[in-house]
C-alpha cells in the first residue's frame, strides 16, 4: 500500500500540481527581484532563463515527493555518480544542502542541534549542518528524502568517511565507500585500478538497491553528458578571462549547483549552454559584472556562504572583481579526462585526480596558471576552519605567491558555513588593507 500511496502522491502532488506550479511561478516572474544591480557597485548578475532556473529548483522540489518512487542516494560532492544516475537514482548532496542552509543563514541554528548531541564545533560545518538537520528535522527544503544508499568518496577529504559512517548508523542504510588514495605524485596504474575495482563493486550493490540492472549504453550516455556539462562549465568560467569580466566568482558559486547536483543529466547541459550564451553577449557588450573593475582577484577555497553577497558588494564597491576561484574551477578542469567509450576506467581516473586529492604544490600550480590566464592582481585565500585538506598548505602557498610571484595574497580566516567563525570587523579591515596593497602596486 505504502509504495502505491507514494506513487500516487508523486504523480498527483508533484507531477500534476507542484512541478507545473513551480514552472508557472518562475516563468511568470513571481520571484522577488534581487537587490543587486540597483544601488550597488555590481551590475545585475547574468542569469539563465526562468525555465532553466525552474529546472534547478525542480531538483529539490522532486526530492520532497520522491521517496518510495525512485531510489534515493546521498552522495559526497566528489563522488562518481554516473553509475547511480544510469540506474535511475535520485541523487541528493548533503554538502549542497549544507551550502543552501548557509546561504539562507540558517546553518548556524541547525548545526547547534548537532552540537547539542555532542558533535564538536571543531568538526566540519557542512557535516554539523547535515547531522543537525537530520537530528532536528530542520531544513529550508521542507523535506529531505530519506536515502536507500549512501555513497562516500574520499577524494575530497577523509572527513566525509567519518561523517557518512555516522549517517549510516543513524539511518541504518548501506554505505558504499569509494576510497581514493591521495595523489602525492601522478596516479599510478595500481591506484587507478583500485578505484576502478571499487566502481565495479558498486555496480551490484547499487543494482540490488535499485532493483534493476545497469545498462552499459545508458552509463556511456550519462558519462558523455557529464563530460559535456563539465566542458561547458569550464567555458562558462573561462568567460571571466575577458576584461571586464562578465562574471564574478560569487556568481560562479551560485551557478555551480547544476554541475554538482545535475552532472550526468541533460538539464545541466541546457543550463550552461544558456548561461554561456548570455555571458558571451555580455562580453560583446563589454559589460562587466562589477561596474568599475579595477582589480581582478582570485579566490581560493570554499566560499563563505552566509556572506556571499556581502563580500561581493564590499569588494565591488572598492573596484574589486573576484573573477575566478579554484573551487569552481575544480569542477571543470578534469573534463578532458572523461571518455564515454571507456566509462569505468575514465571515471576512476577523473575522480582520482580531483583538485582536493592532489598536494599543495599541485594546487599552487593551478593557482599560478589561473593568475596568468585571468590576469589576476591579487589572491584571497580563505583559510576555512572546516576544510582542512583545502586549507593546510595555504600559508606556504601565500608566502610563495607573495615572495616568488610578487602577487599580493591575503589569508582570510573564516568558515564556509559557521557564521560564528566570521569576525566581521577584522575581515573588513584586512580586506581594505589588501585592496590598498593592490592599489600601491598598480
Partner 1 sequence: MEPQPRFAILISVLPIIFHLFRGSRNCSSLKMHLEIPDENRYIGRKPDIQNPTKKQERKEVLDLPGRWDIVKNVRQKGKKVAAVFPIHYPRELLQAHGIHPVEIFGPPGWPTQTADRHFQSYTCAIVRRGFSFLHEKVLSHVDLVVVPHSCDALQGMASVLMDFTENGKPVLTFYLPRSRRKEDEAFLVNELRRFFQALTPISGRIPEEAELKKAIRLNQHVFGILEKLWEEHVLTGWSNLEFFRLLRAREYLPAEDFLRYADTAPSHFRRIRPKGRILLSGIVPEPMDLLHLLDELGLLVVADDLACSSRRVYRNSDLVSDAFPCLAQCLMAGPPDPTRGDPIKQRFFHLVKLAQKHRAGGILFFLPKFCEPELFDIPLLTKMLQDEGLATLVLESELESSLSQQMVTRLEAFAELVADRTEHLLKFKETPA
Contact with partner 1 (CB under 8 A): which of 23, 141, 182, 207?
Answer: 182
Q: Under the criterion CB under 8 A, does residue 367 sit at the interface with partner 1?
A: no
Q: Which stretch binds partner 1 (CB under 8 A): 247-255, 302-310, 313-321, 380-388?
A: 380-388
CB atoms within 10 A of CB 208: 11
Q: Which of residues 406-425 bind partner 1 (CB under 8 A)?
A: 413
Size of the site for partner 1 (CB under 8 A): 49
Size of the chain, expressed as the number of residues it contains: 442
Q: Under the criterion CB under 8 A, does residue 187 sit at the interface with partner 1?
A: no
Instruction: Give the sheet arrangement for strand 295-300, strand by strand.
Output: 320-325, 295-300, 378-384, 409-414
Q: Which of residues 63-122 bind partner 1 (CB under 8 A)?
A: 117-120, 122
Which residues have CB under 8 Å from 193's CB, separation 6+?
Answer: 348
Q: Which residue carries 561523517 as its cell?
A: 163
What string marks each residue from 192 to 231 as x (binds partner 1 by CB under 8 A) or -?
Answer: --x--xx--x------------------------------
Find out whether 127 and 95 touch, Cβ atoms under 8 Å. no
How far apart (Å, rounded) are the C-alpha atoms in residues 213 and 358?
34
DSSP string, 403-433: HTS---EEEEEE-SS-GGG--HHHHHHHHHH
Q: How far is the CB of 414 from partner 1 (least distance, A)?
A: 11
Q: Is 123 exposed, middle or buried (0-12, 13-18, 19+ CB in 10 A)?
A: middle
Quick one: 106 or 205, whose CB is closer to partner 1? 205
Q: Which of residues 133-172 bind partner 1 (CB under 8 A)?
A: 154, 157-159, 161-163, 165-166, 168-170
Q: Under the criterion CB under 8 A, does residue 389 sit at the interface with partner 1?
A: yes
Q: Under the criterion CB under 8 A, does residue 124 sit at the interface with partner 1?
A: yes
Q: Which stretch binds partner 1 (CB under 8 A): 173-181, 232-240, 255-263, 425-433?
A: 173-181
Q: How is residue 337 annotated by DSSP?
A: G
Q: Is 286 exposed, middle or buried (0-12, 13-18, 19+ CB in 10 A)?
A: exposed
Contacts with partner 1 by CB under 8 A lie at: 117-120, 122-124, 127, 154, 157-159, 161-163, 165-166, 168-170, 175, 177, 179, 181-182, 184, 188, 190-191, 194, 197-198, 201, 359-361, 364, 383, 385, 388-389, 391-396, 400, 413
Amino acid at each position: 500500500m505504502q509504495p502505491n500511496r507514494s506513487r500516487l502522491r508523486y504523480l498527483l502532488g508533484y507531477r500534476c500540481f507542484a512541478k507545473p506550479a513551480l514552472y508557472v511561478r518562475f516563468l511568470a516572474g513571481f520571484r522577488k527581484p534581487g537587490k543587486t544591480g540597483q544601488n550597488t557597485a555590481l551590475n545585475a548578475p547574468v542569469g539563465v532563463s526562468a525555465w532553466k532556473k525552474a529546472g534547478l529548483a525542480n531538483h529539490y522540489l522532486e526530492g520532497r515527493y520522491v521517496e518510495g518512487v525512485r531510489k534515493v542516494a546521498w552522495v559526497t560532492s566528489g563522488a562518481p555518480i554516473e553509475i547511480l544516475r544510469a540506474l535511475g537514482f535520485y541523487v541528493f548532496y548533503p554538502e549542497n544542502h549544507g551550502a543552501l542552509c548557509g546561504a539562507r543563514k540558517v546553518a548556524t541554528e541547525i548545526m547547534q542541534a548537532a552540537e547539542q548531541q555532542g558533535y564538536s564545533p571543531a568538526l566540519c560545518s557542512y557535516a554539523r549542518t547535515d547531522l543537525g538537520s537530520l537530528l532536528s528535522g530542520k531544513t529550508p527544503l521542507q523535506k529531505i528524502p530519506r536515502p536507500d544508499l549512501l555513497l562516500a568518496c574520499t577524494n575530497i577529504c577523509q572527513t566525509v568517511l567519518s561523517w557518512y559512517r555516522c549517517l549510516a548508523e543513524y539511518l541504518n542504510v548501506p554505505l558504499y565507500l569509494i576510497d581514493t588514495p591521495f595523489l602525492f605524485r601522478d596516479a599510478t596504474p595500481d591506484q587507478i585500478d583500485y578505484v576502478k575495482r571499487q566502481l565495479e563493486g558498486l555496480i551490484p550493490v547499487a543494482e540490488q538497491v535499485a532493483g534493476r540492472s545497469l545498462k552499459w549504453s545508458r552509463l556511456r550516455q550519462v558519462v558523455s553528458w557529464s563530460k559535456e556539462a563539465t566542458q561547458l562549465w569550464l567555458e562558462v568560467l573561462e568567460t571571466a578571462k575577458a576584461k571586464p569580466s562578465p562574471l564574478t566568482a560569487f556568481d560562479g558559486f551560485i551557478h555551480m549547483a547544476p554541475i554538482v547536483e545535475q552532472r550526468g543529466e541533460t538539464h545541466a547541459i541546457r543550463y550552461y549552454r544558456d548561461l554561456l550564451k548570455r555571458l558571451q553577449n555580455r562580453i560583446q557588450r563589454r559589460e562587466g559584472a562589477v561596474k568599475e573593475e579595477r582589480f581582478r582577484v582570485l579566490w581560493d577555497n570554499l566560499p563563505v556562504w552566509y556572506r556571499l553577497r556581502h563580500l561581493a558588494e564590499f569588494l565591488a564597491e572598492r573596484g574589486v572583481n573576484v573573477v575566478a576561484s579554484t573551487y569552481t574551477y575544480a569542477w571543470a578542469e578534469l573534463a578532458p579526462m572523461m571518455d564515454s567509450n571507456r566509462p569505468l576506467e575514465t571515471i576512476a581516473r577523473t575522480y582520482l585526480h580531483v583538485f582536493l586529492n592532489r598536494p599543495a604544490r599541485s594546487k599552487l600550480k593551478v593557482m599560478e596558471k589561473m593568475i596568468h590566464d585571468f590576469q589576476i592582481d591579487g589572491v584571497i585565500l580563505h583559510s576555512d576552519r572546516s576544510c582542512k585538506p583545502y586549507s593546510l598548505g595555504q600559508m606556504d602557498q601565500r608566502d610563495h605567491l607573495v615572495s616568488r610571484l610578487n602577487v599580493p595574497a591575503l589569508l582570510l580566516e573564516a568558515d564556509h558555513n559557521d557564521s560564528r567563525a566570521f569576525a566581521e570587523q577584522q575581515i573588513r579591515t584586512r580586506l581594505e588593507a589588501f585592496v590598498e596593497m593592490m592599489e600601491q602596486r598598480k
